[in-house]
Amino acid sequence: MTLNLGARRWIAPQLTPQENEQEAKTGESVPKAGKNHAEEREREIIRRIRQKIAEQTPEGASREEQEALAQEIAWQETAELPKARREAIVREIVQSVGGGLGPLQPFVDDPAVTEIMVNAPDQVYIERNGEMVLTNVRFRSDEDVQGLVERIVGEIGRRFDLSNPMVDARLRDGSRVNAIRPPLALKGTAVTIRKFPRAFTFDDLVRSGAIPDGKDGGFDVAAALRWAVPNRLNIVVSGGTGSGKCLDGNMPVVLASGEQAPIRELVEREARGVWVEDADGWCYRLVDGLHVLAWDEATGTVTPKKVTAVWRGPAPKELIRIATAQGREIVVTGVHPLAVAERGGGIEWRAAALVVPGDLIAVGALGNGPVESAMATWDVVREVRWIPAQERYVYDLSVEGHTFLAGQEPVVVHNTTLLNALTGLIPHHERLVIIEDAAELQPQQPHVVRLETRPPTVEGKGEVRIRQLLVNALRMRPDRIIVGEVRSDEVVDMLQAMNTGHPGSMTTVHANSTRDCLTRLETMVLMGSSGEVPLRAVRQQIASAIHLIVQIARTRLPDGTVRRWVTELSAMRGLDPATDDYNIEVLYRRDLPREVEEGIPAWARPWFEGGATL
């Protein structure tokens, strides 16, 4: 007899004559004691099986060893059950050990499944190849669903009970889990698992045209990067910040306390009249201590997040006003992205000018609950129209997590990555330390230590920032340090690491051009350094640390498709002694594709050039 257990096939012990006789008598029928009695008996058997597995599993056993032991114990303990129930229970038990998710494990193992949704014990949906599918998977009871969640969150030291009925967690593979239990969930415990997406490899990006390979006769960017990474050049990936993607000054932003304040007031207060102007004419100021409510796309939760920079730029002639069916209103620039629900499931970040009546956009559903447990919901767009700008400036925030809530009634707004593909070119014998705000990179190397920041508690305690992790990483004997994104004073330690024994390190910066990237790095260094540091010394530190800057862009074409590509590859050649400015050699530069150029009026093209995106 063979049990089909997901991706593996297990050879089960042969039934004894007595067992065969018992199966022939009982078949698939429910025992005479009644269905409830049968279910209770099965639950008792499963509890006994789990207890024996816990007692008999040796410390350090591999997942395969745990599964083999679980199969043996489960088969022995279910001898009294009918064949179909016996196989089902053995399958569930085996799939739940070693970090498995029981009846959900086959979906976790299926690469075509991107999301798993448990609405109730008897209703499990999956998203496979972009389509929502109701499965035939059933849990015996809500207790079993809760038990699954408790096993998941128990690994990270969290609780899931009546005192903590909503929880977020991450599986070992990086997949995100959100669960909410009764009485908040009326039909039973609801679980949503968003699987960690497959990362695009370097070759994927080359094949898609995102990384030029010189076939058109131009510079071979792909070959340059394939040489640069293994030979341990320090690389900064620069991507568009959001220049042009801003709010009208009167738009309220929801603070971490739940209070609202006009974004103009927040930005001007934090800047205190001291601005840094970037190469594109926008002004910004790095800030510390300001927190707003931000939305997690994966879980739908709304939590406090730190603001890392405030922005002010010249207002365009016209802005977009979006009104919703529930009375919400937001006024933004035409290129500002909003979270729009796609018909086939999932979320698309769409420029405000491309939002149409009938679209569902993400909005805050704060209610009267605590902000750390608030959720986002959806509202229907009722009206979209252009209106004249009333003020001289528009404003924006750079927020950890990249989203925040704005508008009279909160609407979710959004502020990428080649970096992950570049890590795939690092030799596997090297030791990497990766530091991120939220784990997104998917390194394939075996010798990797991953560190993640921690936000402050509701009491404002316990925060661990990137700079603290970076300082600690320098003591961990890394060959390279990869920082998902530098936004503040941590850049000082990042540059020191690049300059002192950790060549081949990489990071990303939000900037619209190579020159803008360097200006931002200068500002971060100045803010993170104690005392007065001459600008020439700052530039010397940057010029000696960085070898290559890769500028990337993401643009929506007239047909609605989104295209990502490398727009510029620049090599740092030190400082010009005559001017104390950077000596930059542009190895490659790509102009706007013709199909984009033809579809964009002249006044809008600056938003697309140098990395700004729609």
The residues that bridge with 320 in the sheet, in sequence order, are 332, 386
- State the helix-helix crossing angle for 83-96 and 35-56, rounded to 10 degrees: 40
pLDDT at 45 over 70: yes
Percentage of the chain with pLDDT > 90? Answer: 20
pLDDT at 595 over 70: no
Range from 115-119, 151-155, 369-373, 402-406 carrying the lowest mean pLDDT: 369-373
Tokens 């970040």, residue located: 349
Provide the 10 A C-beta neighbour count for residue 348.
Answer: 13
CB-based contacts of 561, cutoff 8 Å, min separation 6: none
pLDDT band at 606 (very low <50, low <70, confident <90, very high): low
pLDDT at 610 over 60: no
Mean pLDDT of 10-26: 43
Separation between Cα atoms, residue 557 and residue 74, nearest integer Å: 56
- Rama region for 25: left / alpha / beta (φ>0; ψ in -120 to 50; rest): alpha
Separation between Cα atoms, residue 404 and residue 415, nearest integer Å: 8
pLDDT band at 36 (very low <50, low <70, confident <90, very high): low
Range from 40-54, 406-420, 480-494, 503-517 carrying the lowest mean pLDDT: 406-420
Range from 149-153, 348-352, 423-427, 603-607 carrying the lowest mean pLDDT: 603-607
Q: Using one digit for the tens of pLDDT, what is the confidence trace for 238-284?
A: 976 444 456 677 878 878 777 788 888 888 888 877 776 655 556 77
Vertex 140: Cα angle to 136 and 144 (nearest 5): 110
Range from 161-175, 274-288, 493-507, 563-577 carrying the lowest mean pLDDT: 274-288
Longest Cα–Cα distance of the chain, Å, equals 96
Separation between Cα atoms, residue 197 and residue 199, nearest integer Å: 6
**Could you say which DSSP state residue 161 is in?**
B
- Rama region for 272: left / alpha / beta (φ>0; ψ in -120 to 50; rest): left
Check residue 16 and give its pLDDT.
42
Check residue 603 and give its pLDDT.
60
Contact in structure between 414 and 355 (CB atoms under 8 Å): no
Range from 212-221, 227-236, 413-422, 458-467 carrying the lowest mean pLDDT: 413-422
Tokens 């002694």, residue located: 577
Q: How far is CA 36 from CA 33, 47, 90, 157, in A?
A: 8, 17, 20, 34
Q: Give residue 231's Cα distance to chain centre.
A: 29
pLDDT at 612 over 70: no
Instruction: Provide DSSP, 88-141.
Output: HHHHHHHHHSTT--GGGHHHHH-TTEEEEEEEETTEEEEEETTEEEE-----S-
Separation between Cα atoms, residue 497 and residue 106, nearest integer Å: 43
Q: Using one digit for the tens of pLDDT, what is the confidence trace for 524-565?
A: 888 777 657 888 999 999 999 999 999 987 655 554 444 567
Check residue 507 and give its pLDDT.
94
Residue 419: name the closest of 512, 548, 243 by CA: 548
Provide the 10 A C-beta neighbour count for residue 501.
Answer: 11
Check residue 376 and give its pLDDT.
55
CB-based contacts of 236, cutoff 8 Å, min separation 6: 506, 507, 508, 509, 517, 521, 546, 548, 549, 550
Separation between Cα atoms, residue 333 and residue 606, nearest integer Å: 14
Check residue 443 and give its pLDDT.
87
Tell me whether residue 162 is exposed, middle or buried, using C-beta atoms within 10 angstroms of its C-beta: 0 to 12, 13 to 18, 19 or more. exposed
Four-residue CA torsion sign, 40, 42, 43, 44: positive
pLDDT band at 403 (very low <50, low <70, confident <90, very high): low
pLDDT at 572 over 70: yes
Contact in structure between 483 and 236 (CB atoms under 8 Å): no
pLDDT at 398 over 50: yes
Separation between Cα atoms, residue 480 and residue 483, nearest integer Å: 10
Amino acid at 416: T
pLDDT at 481 over 70: yes
Check residue 72 and give its pLDDT.
78
Check residue 224 and give its pLDDT.
95
Q: How far is CA 497 from CA 236, 265, 545, 591, in A?
A: 13, 38, 8, 34
Q: Can you list the positions of beta strands (E) in 477-543? A: 480-483, 506-510
Check residue 270 and give its pLDDT.
85
**Could you say which DSSP state residue 258 is in?**
S
pLDDT at 598 over 80: no
Mean pLDDT of 576-581: 92
Check residue 28 and give its pLDDT.
43
pLDDT at 227 over 50: yes
- State the helix-helix crossing angle for 490-499 and 466-473, rounded to 10 degrees: 20
CB-based contacts of 343, cutoff 8 Å, min separation 6: none
Comparing 8 with 420, which gets the higher pLDDT?
420
Separation between Cα atoms, residue 91 and residue 85, nearest integer Å: 10
Tokens linked to 253 = 């932003």
Comparing 605 with 481, which gets the higher pLDDT?
481
Check residue 584 and give its pLDDT.
94
Check residue 282 and give its pLDDT.
67
Helix then strand count (H, E) for the chain reads 15, 32
Separation between Cα atoms, residue 245 and residue 223, nearest integer Å: 34
- Rama region for 363: left / alpha / beta (φ>0; ψ in -120 to 50; rest): beta
pLDDT band at 476 (very low <50, low <70, confident <90, very high): very high
Residue 371: name the closest of 459, 303, 295 by CA: 303
Comparing 198 with 497, which gets the higher pLDDT?
497
Mean pLDDT of 293-314: 72
Separation between Cα atoms, residue 541 and residue 499, nearest integer Å: 8
Separation between Cα atoms, residue 490 and residue 505, nearest integer Å: 14
Check residue 480 and give its pLDDT.
95
Query: Mean pLDDT score of the chain, rounded to an integer?
Result: 76
Contact in structure between 502 and 515 (CB atoms under 8 Å): no
Tokens linked to 317 = 């002639």
Separation between Cα atoms, residue 474 and residue 435, nearest integer Å: 12
Contact in structure between 465 and 453 (CB atoms under 8 Å): yes
Vertex 304: Cα angle to 303 and 306 (nearest 5): 135
Separation between Cα atoms, residue 158 and residue 167, nearest integer Å: 8
Separation between Cα atoms, residue 304 and residue 251, nearest integer Å: 19
Separation between Cα atoms, residue 238 and residue 507, nearest integer Å: 9
pLDDT at 94 over 70: no
Q: Using one digit for the tens of pLDDT, what is the confidence trace for 159-202?
A: 888 888 888 787 877 788 889 999 988 889 999 998 866 667 88
Range from 31-45, 156-170, 220-234 carrying the lowest mean pLDDT: 31-45
Amino acid at 186: L
Range from 130-134, 157-161, 450-454, 459-463 carrying the lowest mean pLDDT: 459-463
Check residue 4 and give its pLDDT.
35
Range from 14-23, 362-371, 420-429 carrying the lowest mean pLDDT: 14-23
Domains of the chain: 2-98 (no CATH), 103-194 (3.30.450.370), 202-240+418-611 (3.40.50.300), 247-414 (2.170.16.10)
Tokens linked to 330 = 């937001």
Mean pLDDT of 132-142: 87
Amino acid at 524: M
Q: Give residue 291's Cα distance to chain centre.
A: 19
Check residue 347 and give its pLDDT.
64
Separation between Cα atoms, residue 347 and residue 302, nearest integer Å: 16
The residues that bridge with 510 in the sheet, in sequence order, are 239
